[in-house]
Amino acid sequence: MSGLFQKWRKARRTVGMPDSFRFYLRHTGHTLSTQSGATLKDTMVRAGQSSERAARLIYQHSNLERQREVADGIDARVRAEREKAAIVPDDQASGTERAGDA
């Protein structure tokens, strides 16, 4: 029995996790890399996958925290575009923008 396995079993028991609980280092590592911004191709190379389908289905997960990060990113982009639009000189603004200002 490897030292890592013995330490994992002891740690699992210390915190009261069942013996059936498994921690998949490869899966966890690749999932964390996608959540850290790795592209699909990055994930495929790291995981040794030749199929985009496998890399997407296996390693790309979502949770509430990630959904909040995505929403915050969308919000930041919308706000930035609004700020850029607000500083467009009137003679360069679109008709829709001019009508909205009226």
CA 20 – CA 58 distance, rounded (Å) = 21
Phi/psi at 89 (nearest 5 deg)? -60, 145
CA 75 – CA 77 distance, rounded (Å) = 5
Residue the block writes with tokens 């059936």: 20
Comparing 18 with 100, the larger pLDDT belongs to: 18
What's the pLDDT at 47? 81
Q: What does the pLDDT look like over 66-81, one tens digit per residue?
A: 788 888 989 999 999 8
Average pLDDT of the residues in 5-14:
87
Residue the block writes with tokens 């985009």: 52
Domain ranges, ordered by start, for the chain:
23-89
Q: Which amino acid is at 71?
A: A
- Confidence (pTM): 0.42
Cα-based angle 49, 23, 35 (whole degrees, multiple of 5): 55
What's the pLDDT at 102? 54
What's the pLDDT at 88? 57
